[in-house]
Amino acid sequence: MAQGLDTGISIRGGHPSAGLVTRILDTILLWRERRRQRRALEALPDHLLADIGVSRLDATFEAEKPFWKG
């Protein structure tokens, strides 16, 4: 009969570092989403920016922010 190897790590997040890994992944996903949204904003034509009350200068300023800045 085959026996499994007990590593002491729970798949359900019982390992002490599971919270840290989750926070790191959440942060990376947030950064990717900010980058995506800023690129999309920068790509909008001026008439659509005007519709949402954003100037081209404001859109460019936002798009040039580093992804880690909120």
CA contacts within 13 A on the Cβ side of 13? 6
| Residues 36-58 pLDDT 10s | 999 999 999 999 999 999 999 99
Domain definitions of the chain by residue range: 18-63
Say if residues 69 and 35 touch (Cβ distance below 8 Å). Answer: no
Q: Provide the 8-state DSSP code for 27.
A: H
| pTM > 0.85 | no
Q: Provide the 8-state DSSP code for 31.
A: H
pLDDT for the residue numbered 70: 84
| Residues 17-27 pLDDT 10s | 789 999 999 99
